[in-house]
């Protein structure tokens, strides 16, 4: 029997156990109806999940990935779509109402959604099939090994022109975006000079780091501000050229001659970035952080000398559902931040989807974030890795599903990467 790929490397006895129930693909048209925004009802859902945790954990332990989940046509390698599941913290493992609602293989992640429907308990297993899944036990090195295959295309070779590459981290607050980007940029800093040496090309590296923060006029959220993290947060203007390369006017670019320097500049930007303690994360990022690693001709020592390619690392601010916003009632700054962040994330998805569908019209002018990343959408040769981060907590289920849908839709129509099975559980309430 042909095992679906992703399951091929699991022995039969290692695979999750069979579950009974209906299986269906999710169509894009019915998506909105069945997946409403998490709302105050999410609280009652959380209560149901905690009250009937025994029944739900039993149903999760009997889950088996449907055999026909995976076949799909080969798609281009311009976008690599991944998800990472963060492990539970120690304090979470000690709580009775918390159990793991996510299971993974190398290419699939399944979110187990326990619910009460018409007074009966049911378990919906929603499986997402991506290019790579990093489970709870994966390390930053595992993530970097995949990212490296993409960013290597930006290093010039004698027989090949370099292309731009971008790595995005997207997910709910506290799911490990910054943890992942810090890990992979550190590994990148360590490796990149070896790549350059092996390329035998005369090139030099420069790094700039900016954050995008919500601009406000009174009560109104206006155009976002771009701040230079290497110049005390000074405001930066930018323009793009015909090739789509964005030039930051007034942003400092530091030349890096070795790994230690590169690593130090990466850490310096991270430490200056705007963060705020929230209910979910003591150091929650309230801005989008972007590192631009410019690969320039070595002969051209000027700061604005010819750019051969750019490697961009984007740590997006945490997206927030309605229930998160309820924690900040009355904090108008936080609400303005959230509005701006959610608007730019939604615009980013529109742009990446238009780009992956090969559309000539890409709505990148909508937000500062998408204007800055224009090159990633316009250049057909550019390569992008998009990593959605989630947690397996019962109270995060709706957000995890929303993150995974957002992430997958970048590359495929919904029915090509999602499958849903519903199992009716014993117990009438």
Ligand X SMILES: Nc1ncnc2c1ncn2[C@@H]1O[C@H](COP(=O)(O)OP(=O)(O)OP(=O)(O)O)[C@@H](O)[C@H]1O
Residues in contact with ligand X by CB under 6 A are: 86-87, 171, 173-179, 281, 283-285, 318, 389
CB of residue 88 to ligand X, shortest distance in Å: 10
Q: Quick count: other Cβ atoms within 10 Å of Cβ 328?
A: 17
Going by their DSSP bridges, the two strands 108-117 and 120-129 should be labelled as antiparallel
CB of residue 315 to ligand X, shortest distance in Å: 7
Nearer residue to ligand X within complex by CB, 21 or 87: 87
Nearer residue to ligand X within complex by CB, 175 or 356: 175
CB of residue 69 to ligand X, shortest distance in Å: 25
Any idea how long the chain is?
429
Nearer residue to ligand X within complex by CB, 109 or 155: 109
CB of residue 171 to ligand X, shortest distance in Å: 6
Please indicate if the annotation marks 185 as binding a ligand: no
Q: DSSP strand E in 5-67: where?
A: 22-25
Nearer residue to ligand X within complex by CB, 156 or 171: 171
Please indicate if the annotation marks 278 as binding a ligand: no
Please indicate if the annotation marks 330 as binding a ligand: no
- Ramachandran quadrant class, 311 (left: phi over 0; alpha: psi -120 to 50; beta: rest): beta
Instruction: Name the nearest CA neighbour of 103 among 23, 4, 34, 6.
Output: 6
Nearer residue to ligand X within complex by CB, 46 or 85: 85
Please indicate if the annotation marks 174 as binding a ligand: yes
Instruction: Name the nearest CA neighbour of 315 among 178, 189, 185.
Output: 178
For residue 249, what is the DSSP state? E
Q: Are 99 and 406 in contact (CB under 8 A)?
A: no
CB of residue 130 to ligand X, shortest distance in Å: 17
Please indicate if the annotation marks 172 as binding a ligand: yes
Token digits of residue 190:
């360590």
CB of residue 318 to ligand X, shortest distance in Å: 3
Token digits of residue 146:
């995949």
Please indicate if the annotation marks 259 as binding a ligand: no
Please indicate if the annotation marks 176 as binding a ligand: yes
Cα end-to-end span (Å), the chain: 41
Burial status of residue 192 (CB atoms within 10 A of its CB: 0-12, 13-18, 19 or more): buried
Please indicate if the annotation marks 284 as binding a ligand: no
Nearer residue to ligand X within complex by CB, 165 or 175: 175
Token digits of residue 272:
């200056």
Q: Which residues are annotated as a binding site for ATP?
A: 171-178
């Amino acid at each position: 029997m042909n095992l679906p790929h992703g399951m091929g490397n699991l022995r039969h006895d290692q695979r999750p156990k069979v579950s009974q129930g209906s299986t269906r693909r999710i169509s894009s048209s019915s998506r909105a109806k069945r997946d409403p925004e998490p709302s105050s009802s999410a609280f009652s859902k959380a209560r149901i999940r905690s009250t009937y945790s025994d029944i739900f954990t039993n149903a999760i332990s009997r889950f088996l990935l449907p055999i026909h989940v995976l076949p799909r046509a080969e798609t281009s390698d311009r976008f690599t779509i991944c998800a990472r599941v963060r492990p539970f913290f120690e304090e979470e493992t000690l709580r009775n109402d918390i159990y793991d609602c996510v299971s993974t293989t190398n290419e699939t992640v399944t979110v187990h959604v326990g619910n009460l429907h018409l007074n009966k308990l049911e378990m919906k297993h929603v499986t997402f099939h991506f290019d790579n899944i990093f489970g709870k036990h994966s390390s930053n090195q595992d993530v970097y090994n995949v990212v490296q295959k993409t960013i290597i295309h930006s290093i010039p070779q004698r027989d090949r022109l370099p292309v731009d590459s971008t790595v995005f981290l997207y997910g709910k607050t506290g799911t490990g975006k910054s943890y992942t980007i810090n890990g992979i940029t550190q590994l990148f800093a360590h490796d990149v000079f070896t790549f350059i040496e092996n390329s035998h090309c005369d090139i030099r590296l420069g790094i700039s780091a900016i954050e995008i923060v919500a601009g406000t006029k009174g009560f109104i959220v206006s155009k976002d501000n771009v701040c230079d993290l290497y110049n005390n947060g000074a405001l930066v203007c930018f323009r793009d050229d015909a090739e789509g390369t964005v030039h930051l006017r007034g942003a400092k670019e530091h030349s890096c001659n070795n790994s230690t320097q590169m690593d130090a500049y990466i850490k310096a930007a991270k430490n200056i970035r705007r963060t705020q303690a929230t209910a979910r994360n003591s150091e929650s990022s309230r801005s989008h952080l972007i590192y631009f690693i410019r690969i320039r001709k070595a002969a051209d020592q000027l700061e604005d000398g010819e750019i051969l390619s750019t490697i961009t690392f984007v740590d997006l601010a945490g997206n927030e559902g309605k229930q998160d916003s309820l924690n900040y009632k009355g904090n108008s700054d936080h609400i303005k931040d959230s509005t701006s962040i959610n608007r730019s994330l939604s615009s980013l998805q529109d742009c990446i989807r238009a780009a992956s569908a090969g559309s000539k019209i890409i709505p990148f002018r909508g937000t500062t974030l998408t204007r800055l990343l224009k090159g990633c959408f316009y250049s057909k040769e550019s390569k992008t890795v998009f990593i959605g981060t989630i947690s397996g907590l019962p109270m995060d289920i709706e957000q995890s599903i929303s993150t995974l849908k957002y992430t997958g839709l970048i590359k495929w129509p919904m029915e090509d990467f999602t499958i849903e099975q519903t199992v009716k559980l014993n117990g009438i309430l």
